[in-house]
Structure 1
Amino acid sequence: MACCPTEERIKGAFSTAKTSKVGTGATAKKVSTTIYVFAEELEDDKIKIQAVNENHVPTGPTRTISRDDLLRDFFPDPEYYHKTMLPQMRELAKQIASGERHLKNGQPFTAELSFANALNLDEQNIRANFGIGLVYLRRGEKEKALEVLRRLVTLDAAFEKRHKHLFNEFGINLRRNGMYEQALDYYGRALDFAKDDEHLFFNIARTHIERRDLGRAREALEQALAINPGFAEARDYLAKLARGPAGLKLTPSS
């Protein structure tokens, strides 16, 4: 017997009107503002919604509500989604992809332009922030990289699992640039979100080794091995530490 067709999942722009009072006394008046969100249906009747900025792209933290809550509090706006929001979302994705491609090809100045264009559309975009931070680190522009670092540590989404490769790469580049204290502060923030990540502890250990704090390096390696006893590289470094400073012949940072 044929099954009923699956109901299409919600994905698009929704709006709600917010009324606020402006002025006082006889000059007071009510002003209505339309607020847009991007909504995407997940499993179990849950909807992920995200605010839309003045450039018409979803930005900032997301929150989850029920389908009933969405349909009660917001109105679908397919015309705004298809004619305004979707083109801007595609442009943002295009600029980020361009920046990442140029960075991979060793073209940091061209990459910077693309990432800057992306940040003009969404200053909180995680991939664009990491990308331009990597540009500055690879060019040795430490002060600019620190500005990006300060911005990233305030963004919880930067340390979500889907961005793991980005935050690992950024931390490694901080270490490679001799920015050890900043790297450790950054890794400490990452630990708030990934306490069971053995590679994070390994990167912390590498940072301590390069700043010659071997005791803390040993502690971090032991934590990495407690999470993953089969982590061969961490075990190898721990064996080198056991032989003392003479056993450490640091290879180029990886």
Structure 2
Amino acid sequence: MDTEIITIYCLCDDFLKAMNHVEDRQRRLIDAEVMTVAIVAARYFGGIIERARVMLAEPRYMPLMVSRSRLNRRLRRVMPLLLSLFETLAEEWKAQNEASWYALDTFPVAACDPYRVIRVRLYDGEAYRGYQASKRRYYYGLKLHLMVTAHGQPVEFFLTPASCGDVTGLQLFNFDLPEGSHVYADKAYNDYRIEDELTQVGIHLLPLRKKNSKRPHPAWLTTLISAKRKVVETAGSLIQRCMPKSIHAVTAAGFEMKVVLFVLGLSLHYVLG
């Protein structure tokens, strides 16, 4: 763990230096250290910032650690930097993706189970009630839309209310991919208009077809898509493995910040090996 923590800190510090990032000279904890605390919490402590803060306050790590409340305020300020770090890594993963194919899917992020909806404070309304088909259960929270490379490295993601359909989410992807890329998806992503628009810019969206599809795929292509899609399912499993059964958060913004950190943690998983 020590080697990985040092690697995470060096990566954050080098990233901020490359950006010519300017900080307040009076700060006790530099932004690279704040980013390190957040990432360590996501990778090793189920997103619990306080546990990471206490561990990293040891003299061999960050002897000038700030208080819990001050650290939480600093975390909100560095969130744009963490997102920029994710985007920088995403560009690197796309450059290394010689296979030039990607896969996308959605994953539930539950704030609570339906029977506890009356007590939930983070979100309000039926828009946040979703259905997880694989487990045949309803949940209350968000939906993570994720796109990964052929090696499982995340290159794009965003969050929507749990009731958001996959086709609706498909319209929100940027598809900032190299020309000639192929994107594999499941049956929920059938939208001929988006497929045609992406084809015009050299990107080929290939979802599994439904039985009544007007554009059926040959059997060999259906088998290929099914096989390629497994990489995004594996990526989703790695993210959910880091998530605790219940993500502790006081505000919706704090809940979403921790989900972002779990996705960033997946990207750093491929940096750390």
Larger radius of gyration: 1
Query: Is TM > 0.5 for Structure 1 vs Structure 2?
Result: no
Normalised by the length of structure 1, the TM-score is: 0.32
TM-score, normalisation: structure 2: 0.30
Structure ranking higher on relative contact order (CA contacts 8 Å, 6+ apart): 2
